[in-house]
Amino acid sequence: MTPRPAIWLCLMVTFALAPVTLIADESVTRTEDVIYGRKFGTALTLDVFSPKKPEGKPGNGAAVIFVVSGGWFSSHEAINQGFINEFLNHGYTVFAVVHGSQPKFTILEIVDDMHRAVRFIRSRATFYQIDPERMGIFGASAGGHLSLMQGTAGTPGNPDATDLVERESSRVQAVACFFPPTDFLNYGKQDENALGRGVLKNFRAPFDFHDFDKTINAFVPITDEKRLVEIGRSISPVNHVTSDDPPTLIIHGDADMLVPIQQAEVVIEKLKTNNVPCELVVRKGQGHGWPEIGKDIAILADWFDKHLAKKQEAK
């Protein structure tokens, strides 16, 4: 049986990283299935990877969030430890976040999950011995898109919230990612709508936006094109770029047929226009993942070292 496209994409990213050395048990403490939120009776979870600190080699006090997502599909089984090892070696505490997954949940709902996860981690900063103002985020493909959404569209906390977690900010201080979608309404070229269409026509579920109709007590699809375009703008990181966004690194193959490199180029151009420190690393001739991608994780870790080495001023 041919796997669903979103699952295939998630597995593709996982297998691409397979050559990376896995974490040895003695080198890290892993806490699994920490509940950071709930919705519709379902627990939202993350795993915490803490570097052990023997022989006078403490962690660096900063946190890195790994967005476990491919095609906006997310699962605990998709947490690839090979994606995390390099950051632990640099002294980071890593939080692998599993969001509400498609086909059950849409991108709008998934973005909300990521806000919740960042707020939760920040609210537990003392417990996890991290600096709440030195938090980076990374991911690949859909995980890269969600990383950029946190970087460009993170929000302050609500000081009046009864839930103490919701009083925390969902902003991050650095972003690094691989081949992220950034503009669903100009996807590869001007005016190309990719909201489950065109190149992304086989990824319909995460774009199956709906409203809850109280009169019939049911979810109903959103079909009004104007509203769909508004949603498309709201989930496109390029439309949220401002001058106080965090330093951002993107690594992208120039032969990517699923997420055109134009997606990286347009958001990097927007970041530069707003004087945000940013960099695009182009992998010549590479598509949506490549055999040596594991080695590029070190570039992401170095980026975080550069921008999280000292306390950064929050947005």
Contact call for residues 186 and 192 (beta carbons, < 8 A) = yes
pLDDT digits (tens, 9 = 90+) for 234-247: 999 999 999 999 99
| DSSP per residue, 48-76 | EEEE---TT----S-EEEEEE-BTTB--G
Domain residue extents for the chain: 5-308
Strand pairing of 28-39 and 210-213?
A: unpaired
Contact call for residues 187 and 199 (beta carbons, < 8 A) = yes
Q: Which residues pair with 251 in a beta bridge?
A: 178, 281
Closest CA to 145 of 252, 15, 27, 61: 252
pLDDT digits (tens, 9 = 90+) for 154-179: 999 999 999 999 999 999 999 999 99
Contact call for residues 208 and 221 (beta carbons, < 8 A) = yes
Give, in words, the CATH class of 5-308: alpha beta
pTM over 0.95: no
In the chain, alpha helices (H): 5-16, 85-89, 107-123, 125-128, 142-153, 225-234, 261-273, 293-308
Q: How many CA atoms lie within 13 A of 303 on its CB side?
A: 26
Determine the pLDDT at residue 53.
65
pLDDT digits (tens, 9 = 90+) for 103-148: 999 999 999 999 999 999 999 999 999 999 999 999 999 999 999 9
What letters, b where the CB count within 10 A reaches 16 and e where it falls short, cover 11-34?
ebbbebbeebeebeeeebeeeeeb
